């Protein structure tokens, strides 16, 4: 062998160029920004964010979520530690002095050697739209007052801003993510929470104290705006070693109530709500979803109920992503993708948000629904009827391969904002945590799949995808 001749050399140069162009055409962007390696250490129990409010039996861990299907209800929840105390929520509209009252119920649970405080859930109904309400929980000098804003009436052009957070936990980075979300000038009005809340299951015997600290940590935001809950794997807490704990999702379902009955769901792990111009479907990655399972049956009917002339924006939440090109949790969403993806395409879902993978990724609009065992057709194709898949797991570093459906990905912490302007346009942005401040690292104008189904791909060169 006498080495490469000049013609084969130039052939290789050309080939490399062609490959580069091909990658550029098909592929998205993998950001070179990687957050500095941190240990993901939980904030110690003595941290300021975990402080217990003063006074005997003072309500703590106050949180709210939507309490009905249309946005005129709110579930107010809180915990008292010393005794059951009052189940009453007093509330009034900013525009009125008339105090109103709602009665809730109190729950407790045991998990191995942990006994919960008294967990109160109280649903307020018949609220007026677009109104600021104050509310008070507790009695005597431990009364605590908060407020929230109700959404605009459900309708096709109701502008609304959602924040999106997943896999929060209670590390120093969690505090940074929450702080950046709070300071984001776009001001989210409701958070779509993508599962994995407290990570209490990382402690010996799944120490419930870490559920309490998490509740106190996020109160500063979730007492004032609803967070829409999705279940994650860290909520399962099925621990056969602690052989008396055989009920999955036990702490989560006691502490976080959702309005699943309002959408005819038999299980709080999957349900839907309408809020402004959005129809939000929450699914459970950790419940049965095969054909004829309860979740599958519910989703079939549910998608047929969505009226895009009333709620143009169809948003799906689930914990484990259906499209994920990181090694972490690679292909875990594949069984659900096989079952649910044809429905998402048929019903023109605008966007699917997931967490679980501790990194960020946004796909192009793609689908992979042609395969039927005999035809071998299992390629991922560009599809303007398909949703965009977005993974917002809070931080972590993992290696990745480079697929051509991925539009942007980055191994960083962050939060996102989905800002609905009207029935045709929504501005989406993802904000990484960087050196103590937050910066917009990825963004996209969403065109609504029902009202404005034009190509909204962000690829700089339109490829043959
Ligand atoms: C958490 O963040 C807030 C700022 O939003 C800060 O005041 C507080 O000291 C932080 N706590 C910890 C333990 O980092
Ligand atoms: C599988 O798909 C091919 C075309 O892609 C089609 O010709 C064939 O009939 C399908 N098989 C079944 C069982 O649906
Ligand atoms: C919808 O919002 C987009 C983005 O703000 C704007 O360009 C467009 O004109 C709006 N459409 C209507 C009908 O107002
Ligand atoms: C990705 O590239 C493969 C091979 O070039 C192609 O068959 C496939 O259609 C592409 N997929 C997308 C989503 O562009
Ligand atoms: Fe997870």
Cα-to-centroid distance, 373 and ligand 2 (Å): 9
Residue located nearest, by CA, to atom 5 of ligand 2: 375
Tokens encoding 97:
């002095």
Extract the runs of DSSP E, i.e. beta strands, from 116-243: 118-124, 132-137, 144-149, 160-165, 190-193, 227-229
User: Is the CB–ligand 2 distance for residue 371 below 6 Å?
Assistant: no
pLDDT at residue 450 in the model: 98
Rounded to the nearest angstrom, the distance between the alpha carbon of 463 and the centre of ligand 4 is: 9
**For residue 291, how far is its CA from the centre of ligand 2 (angstroms)?**
20
* Ligand lying nearest the CA atom of residue 370: 2
CA of 159 relative to ligand 3 center, distance in Å: 11
Give bridge partners of residue 93 from the DSSP assignment. Answer: 133
Q: What is the pLDDT of residues 341-385, one digit of tens each?
A: 999 999 999 999 999 988 889 999 999 999 999 999 999 999 999
Alpha carbons 81 and 141: distance in angstroms, whole number: 16
| Ligand 4 neighbour 26 (Cβ under 6 A) | yes
**CB-facing half-sphere around the CA of 315: CA atoms within 13 A:** 29
pLDDT along the chain (465 residues), means of 10: 36 32 44 55 96 97 98 98 97 95 98 96 98 97 97 98 95 92 93 96 95 98 98 92 85 98 98 98 98 98 98 98 89 97 98 92 96 94 97 61 78 90 97 79 96 88 37
Do 311 and 156 meet the contact criterion of CB atoms below 8 Å apart? yes
359 Cβ partners below 8 Å, 6+ apart?
326, 328, 391, 393, 395, 396, 397, 398, 400, 409, 410, 411, 412
Task: Give residue-wise pLDDT tens across range 281-317.
Answer: 999 999 999 999 999 999 999 999 999 999 999 999 9
C-alpha atoms less than 13 angstroms from C-alpha of 205 in its C-beta half-sphere: 10
Tokens of 11: 């052939």
Closest approach atom of ligand 2 to CA 377: 5
**For residue 24, what pLDDT is reported?**
32
Active site residue 329: yes
> How confident is the model at residue 16, as a pLDDT?
31
Ion ligand 5: protein residues whose beta carbon lies under 5 Å: 196, 232-233, 356
Q: Which of 375, 379, 381 to mutate to test the pocket of ligand 2 (most atoms within 8 A of CB)?
A: 375
Q: Residues 69, 121, 180, 329: which is the catalytic one?
A: 329
Structure confidence at residue 240 (pLDDT)? 73
């Amino acid at each position: 062998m006498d080495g490469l001749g000049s013609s084969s050399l130039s052939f290789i140069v050309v080939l490399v160029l062609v490959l580069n162009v091909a990658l550029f055409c098909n592929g998205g962007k993998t950001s070179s920004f990687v957050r500095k390696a941190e240990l993901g250490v939980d904030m110690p129990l003595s941290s300021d964010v975990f402080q217990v409010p003063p006074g005997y039996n003072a309500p703590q861990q106050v949180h709210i979520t939507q309490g009905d299907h249309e946005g005129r209800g709110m579930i107010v929840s809180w915990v008292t530690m010393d005794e059951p105390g009052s189940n009453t929520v007093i509330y009034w509209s900013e525009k009125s002095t008339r105090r109103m009252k709602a009665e809730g119920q109190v729950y407790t649970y045991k998990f191995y050697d942990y006994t919960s405080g008294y967990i109160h859930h109280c649903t307020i109904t018949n609220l007026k739209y677009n109104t600021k309400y104050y509310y008070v929980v507790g009695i005597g000098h431990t009364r605590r007052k908060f407020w929230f804003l109700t959404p605009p009436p459900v309708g096709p052009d109701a502008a609304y801003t959602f924040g999106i957070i997943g896999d929060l936990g209670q590390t120093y980075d969690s505090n940074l993510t929450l702080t950046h979300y709070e300071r984001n000038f776009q001001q989210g009005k409701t958070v779509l929470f993508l599962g994995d809340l407290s990570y209490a299951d990382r402690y010996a015997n799944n120490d419930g104290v870490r559920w309490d600290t998490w509740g106190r940590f996020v109160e500063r935001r979730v007492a004032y705006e609803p967070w829409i809950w999705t279940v994650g794997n860290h909520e399962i807490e099925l621990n056969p070693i602690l052989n008396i704990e055989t009920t999955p999702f036990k702490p989560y379902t006691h502490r976080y109530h959702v309005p699943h009955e309002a959408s005819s769901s038999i299980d709080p792990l999957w349900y839907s709500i309408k809020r402004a111009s959005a129809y939000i479907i929450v699914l459970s990655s950790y419940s049965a979803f095969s054909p004829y399972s309860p979740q599958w049956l519910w989703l079939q009917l549910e998608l047929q109920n969505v009226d895009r002339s009333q709620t143009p924006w169809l948003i799906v939440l689930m914990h484990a992503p259906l499209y994920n090109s990181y090694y972490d949790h690679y292909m875990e969403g594949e069984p659900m993708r096989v079952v649910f993806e044809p429905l998402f395409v048929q019903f023109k879902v605008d966007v699917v948000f997931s967490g679980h993978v501790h990194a960020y990724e946004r796909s192009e609009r793609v689908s992979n629904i042609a395969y039927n065992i005999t035809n071998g057709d299992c390629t991922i194709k560009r599809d303007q009827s398909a949703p965009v898949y977005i993974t917002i797991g809070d931080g972590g570093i993992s290696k990745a391969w480079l697929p051509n459906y991925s539009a942007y990905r980055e191994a960083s912490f962050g939060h996102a904002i989905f800002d609905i302007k009207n029935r045709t346009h929504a501005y989406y942005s993802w904000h990484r945590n960087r050196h103590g401040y937050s910066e917009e690292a990825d963004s996209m104008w969403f065109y609504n799949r029902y009202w404005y189904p034009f190509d909204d791909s962000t690829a700089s060169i339109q490829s043959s995808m």
